[in-house]
A and B are shown apart, each in its own frame.
Chain A
Amino acid sequence: MKLKLLLILLITFSAQIISAQEGIISGTVNDGEFNDVLPFANILIKGTTKGTTSDFDGKYVLDVEPGTYTVTFSYLGYETKEISEVIVEPGAEQIIDITLNPLANALDEVVVTTTVSKNTEASVLNLQKNSVALLDGLSIQSIKKSGASDIASAIKSVPGVSVQGGKFVYVRGLGDRYTKSILNGVDVPGLDPDRNTLQLDIFPTNILDNIIVIKSATADQPADFTGGVVDIVTKDFPTRAEYSISTGLGYNSSMHFKDNYLNYDGSPTDALGFDNGQRDLAIPQNIETPLPVVDGNRSAALTRLLEPNLKALENQSGADFNIGFTAGNQYDLNEDGTKKIGYLASLTYKNSTDFYEDAVSGQVFRKQDQDKSVLELTDDRTQSGNIGVNNVLISGLAGISLKSLQSKYKLNVLHIQNGESGASYIRQDNFNVNSNTIFKDVLTYTQRSITNILLNGEHTNEDASWKVSWKVSPTFSKIYDKDLRTTPFRFEPETGNFTISPSESGDPSRIWRDLEEYNVASKLDLTRKHQLFGRDAKLKFGGAFTIKERDFVVNQFSTPIQSQAGNYSLNFEGNADLVLAPENIYDPETREGTYVRRDSNISDSFNSQITVGAGYVGDEFKLSDRFNAIVGVRFEKFDLRYSGENQDGEVFDNQTILDKADFFPSANFIYELNEEANKKIRASFSSTTARPSFKEASNAQIFDPVSSTFFIGNIDIQPTYINNYDIRFEAYGEGTNFFAISGFAKTFDDPIELTFIREARGQFIPLNLGDAKVFGAELEYRRNMGFIPGWENFNFNANISVIESQQTYSEDEEAARIDNLRTGETLDDTRQLQGQSPLLLNVGFDYSNNDNGWQGGIVYNVQGKTLEIVGNGDIPDVYTLPFHNLKMNLSKEFGKENSSKITLKFENIINDDIESVYQSFGAQDQIYSSRYPGQAISLGYSYQF
């Protein structure tokens, strides 16, 4: 099978080389009236008979001899555009995306003439400019400009977008509960089971067509988003044969080539993103572990089944590297080129190594309980240590598309394989609840995979007045935590002894967690062009159905140590690798040694199923020449069924937990303030929802040994309903010059938040809290620096979002806060919404010169102080402090047709660290967690042929 694929690749590759002498003009023709493509537009090389028409995707390709041309674009009832100075080089592709605007009077003939370079710049904003809904597009061109190699780093330049942990997108600072990421318009489960959003760093930019961030809802979008929807759209196929290879190296001075980096012996296939079975569940689920006193031989035999290496080993760390290939081509299936088949394949391998020295995590500081006039916090737990993480990510995408004049079919297969291996050695000092010092070796391995298939068809009729699009997309996702090993030793400074002391620090533990999820999303969209109020209008209607099912199983073991006269664990002398050494396994003769005990239980495991059925209708129409509107309503029926058992033995067997049927109205308006349509006002209203996750709407009681906390599911939890209001003024200037100011407000009914339980320390439950409000303002500015002579290639852009959130307290929280007020402190009526950033700022300055191939940019971004953990009585709130991230990138294209490119990037130039702190009235901040990400330099090379 693999051989066959390789063969096909080779054949297509050699076929291409032969015909490489002609050049290509290609692109997309857009409809200035609707935010849509313009099918069947005429494209002509001026002064020749050579021409073509755009297909129903608005796409066109013209094969031409090398030379300089003027190209005309025309369509009945629309202006004609002439683009001059189109230079086509042998074998090269010249991309011209163009927008044609309708004529007020169909009999007029208007010809707009421009040059190719001006047109290219302007086309970037076209999508955004013409959309009635509020959205921001990130075209592949601008991603390339930013030097980003994956979506996560590219998307930060979109206003109001922030990326958490380099992976998860937050729109307008709203936590990922309120942001949705979808792939090619359909829901795809992410690699993180506890998040609603897809992890973005797994997508290489070379498979992208564009990313669209939609901030205001329309009826054709899913209803379960609030901040925004991030739609990642992969390429169909290139307009000509395209093969590329890219490779990169990254060096971080505080992480790489360090001799004290921590790892452990894993399986030989770790480097390929999966475990070869070495970390498989050691003791099958149906095997009981007897007490050693009952059956010593069996207990010892079962204990020997566990992998004995428990120690985080010091080894030298490597650097980051990546390599990627893409291949794509299209072929005409008939003489006139109206039937085409094409493919796109990409394979990426990334290996990255992180090492955090003296990373601080999970520290506990408290307010003085005895005396409320004491403002300073006292330490209850300090915890720090070295953490080493190696991450391997392989992603493969293969797609085939078939296009005819009126139909398009696309089959895409995406597989992502990820393995993350971690080792850490942590010191923990407890002062209050316990009083001790603990050293922990922690070894982790998480293997994740997603396989997504997308089958998509689009059809149109002859005059393109009807358009039908359907999608079926199954996804299989697997996340396995394989053999997480924690070995805690208690250290007694007085004696210098290391002991395993279960009542102080717990027994050594082993955990396996399996999460399997399948998801089938399907949708049907129909578009009908019609007349309303004597003007063109577009009716959209359709439906969607998604089914998701998740299985979650936990297997957990401890390995306690049986002692007789003395304390047997003294023999280990603090060396974790001796705990399961053969000589220390339980000996039935002496009745001493380490034995295995099953700790897992049914309440950790569950099975859930979600179905969402949706139907919608919406109309995009004009109230006057300058006043556009989309008004629509969406209906969604949401069901969640759950099977599981809690610790009390309460059993749910495929029981319906949530059954909601709701209408979600939306209205978007855009008013052009002038004839040229370069000043606009937008206003929108929509109603959306945020639904609890699988885990939240359950009665599961899941213990997390890493944070030593219990997650308690809430079987009574209800979805949140949100009303969204947006208003925006936009001014488009020359080229990409742009200014926008927006205001928005959101009101939340019953927002869900993971909250503490006042009476149960270390236990958390998702609750519907009191109502919340979010208000914000956004400012966006892009300016070409050409007003300074000689600075034509420089661009400045900045965007800032200021957001105020107000969350009312739950009853428990309010009582706990009042009981723990310091002398002189008063309680505000509301607090920040958890995870809501009050400020987002991006400022960038870039240089781009197509003539000499140089590109460069410097970007600064920061996020305001954000409420990370809501305090619990005498434990104050934890805030994530701003991380001031200044980055620079520089690239140069060179060689024949600029086919080679070298990129150099610098990260964290300011040398900031990532820190969260406890903040309390009148007290000095105390660290909750802190990590130093180091300063990284990466060098990349890519070659396109």
Chain B
Amino acid sequence: MRFLFVIFFAFVLLGCTDKQSETKTDAVVGEVAMKENLHKTEGDYSNKKIVSMNFEELEKNYFQNKNDSIYIINFWATWCKPCVKELPAFEKIASDYLDKKVKVLLVSLDFIDKMDSQVVPFLKKNDIQSEVVLLDDADANSWIPKVSPQWTGAIPATIIYKKDNRKFYEQSFTFEELETELKTFFIKINL
């Protein structure tokens, strides 16, 4: 019984300290490093790079993964207040679930000419750790339905998927709401 408590303490303590150190170390940056072979236009920020791509590339590289990871893909923009407000929730999920095969991708819908003047400074200023790509594809009418037929086109919008299990959300998330949704994907695995 005492042994269990000790283990429990250690776990709780570790859980917390890990979180603190993760947000500070460069190791995390390495884990979510950008796919550099995809770039057309890229802006440097810190030691990371942000790539831009059209929807076809985005879909091919990020929407069809069949591995064991759970992917959380959030559509946002620097000028979108509710998007900016919910970014910390996605950042926290990414760091809390780093070793549980959960990957967060932030898809910026900022215009490409704002890459250097707005997007990169924003990511730098707020020390965004998640992977970021800029979707540079003007013909939204053709790709919005491919993300989800339910999507009206308003942002923020989010997809969570694991293999063929996929859910779409046209809404803002708090950390708790996002974690609750994420957990439904873990339950599916255990069944």
Q: Do A and B come from one complex?
A: no
